[in-house]
């Protein structure tokens, strides 16, 4: 988030979980990306008293009726494992022809201000369309990046330089949209 937000929100210092007093992260039990992002941002505000940005994202596969969706990180069950998630996804799509391997990433970003209630909450969505390849490619990124090729590209998002991926990704788009809201709220406060 820092890498993406820094150019759009100069002067705003983005802290990670390792920069604040440790707190119990909430269980992501909401049925939507927006719900899980809000749940995490609200928990961060409650634990730190600081304005908070949180995201929830995942992969939605057309041939799987939008799954794994909000279950993306836990698709293959506990413990979380990108390798097991990717292996399971490839097994589920083994007989699906290339022209039916459409997919998209979704990212919900929530921004919450302390003490403002619902009036101080803002949620945006970003989306990146593409398709899935038949075997992992690339070493960058994380999760399903090794299998996902964005529309207009011939390499997986794991093969893209970070800056290029940030410009087209679901997370990059959502953070670009929320950045002016964050800056305006902090300037007003």
When divided into structural domains, the chain yields a total of 1
Has this prediction a pTM greater than 0.85? yes
- Is 187 annotated as catalytic? no
Does the annotation flag 170 for ligand binding? Answer: yes
What would the pLDDT profile of 78-116 be if each residue is shown by its tens digit?
999 999 999 999 999 999 999 999 999 999 999 999 988
The DSSP secondary-structure symbol of 68 reads B
Q: Please check whether residue 148 is in contact with residue 92, taking contact to mean a CB–CB distance below 8 angstroms.
A: no
Q: What is the CATH number of the domain that holds 168?
A: 3.90.950.10
Catalytic residue selected from 29, 56, 129, 154: 56
Does the annotation flag 3 for ligand binding? Answer: no
Domain of residue 164 covers: 2-188
Among 112, 114, 119, 124, which Cα is nearest to 53's?
112
């Amino acid at each position: 988030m820092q890498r993406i937000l820094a150019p759009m929100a100069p002067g705003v210092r983005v802290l990670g979980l390792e920069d604040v007093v440790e707190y119990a992260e909430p269980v992501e039990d909401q049925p939507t990306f927006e719900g899980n992002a809000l749940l995490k941002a609200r928990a961060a505000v409650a634990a730190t008293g600081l304005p908070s940005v949180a995201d929830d994202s995942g992969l939605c596969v057309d041939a799987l009726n939008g799954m794994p969706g909000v279950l993306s990180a836990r698709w293959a069950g506990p413990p979380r494992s990108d390798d097991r998630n990717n292996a399971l996804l490839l097994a589920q799509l083994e007989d699906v022809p290339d022209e039916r391997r459409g997919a998209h990433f979704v990212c919900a970003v929530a921004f919450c201000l302390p003490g403002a209630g619902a009036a101080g909450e803002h949620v945006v969505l970003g989306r990146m369309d593409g398709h899935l390849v038949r075997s992992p490619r690339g070493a960058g990124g994380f999760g399903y990046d090794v299998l996902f090729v964005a529309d207009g590209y011939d390499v997986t998002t794991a093969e893209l330089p970070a800056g290029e991926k940030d410009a087209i990704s679901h997370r990059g788009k959502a953070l670009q949209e929320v950045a002016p809201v964050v800056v305006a709220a902090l300037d007003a406060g």
